[in-house]
Amino acid sequence: MIKPEYLLDNQLCFRLYTASRLLSQAYHPLLSMKGLTYPQYLVLLVLWEKDGQAVNNIAKRLFLETNTVTPLLQRMEKEGVLTRKKGVKDARQIIVSLTKKGKSLQKELADVPFTLAKAVLCDSVTPETAPELFRMLDDIIVKLSESNA
């Protein structure tokens, strides 16, 4: 008999992986119509919060390495969504800024969070319980970030 801790249904990692994969799939039709991928949308969210950020700040905010973010930014620059320029104070830094097209995408994609919220909301995840779920997930992210640092 297999121990309960080895059953797939008892694995937190499997639930998080499955939820993440399915959530990314739910974003796909909403973003693909604008030629965006989910990681590109995350970059846009960071830049919509504060435009003109260094690559390493964007990477840090997304819990990614700069060598993962850089090709993503290069593709977005080719598509005219953002620009990358050397920093004024430090030429080693690359500053990423939204173009007019990148800024206009914020209005064009304004319904995305609401559409996804409708897809995710259920008996256990409601507008009232979502903040607690976010807190629990943030705790997991911080714990895993510390152990992988």
Domain ranges of the chain: 37-105
Contact 87, 95 (CB under 8 A): yes
The whole-number pLDDT of residue 149 equals: 67
Name the residue among 82, 106, 79 with its Cα closest to residue 95: 82
Q: Rounded to whole angstroms, how far apart are CA atoms 132 and 126?
A: 10
Q: Three-state SS across the chain?
A: CCCHHHCHHHCHHHHHHHHHHHHHHHHHHHHHCCCCCHHHHHHHHHHHHCCCEEHHHHHHHCCCCHHHHHHHHHHHHHCCCEEEEECCCCCCCEEEEECHHHHHHHHHCCCHHHHHHHHHCCCCCCCCCHHHHHHHHHHHHHHHHHHHC
- pTM of the complete model beyond 0.95: no
The whole-number pLDDT of residue 87 equals: 86
Convert the pLDDT of each residue in 64-107 to its tens digit.
Answer: 999 999 999 999 999 999 999 998 888 889 999 999 999 999 99
The whole-number pLDDT of residue 1 equals: 86
Question: Which structure tokens are listed for 5?
Answer: 């801790």
Strands 94-98 and 53-54: antiparallel
CATH number for the region 37-105 comes to 1.10.10.10
Positions of the chain with pLDDT under 70: 149
Question: Which structure tokens are listed for 125?
Answer: 């995840």
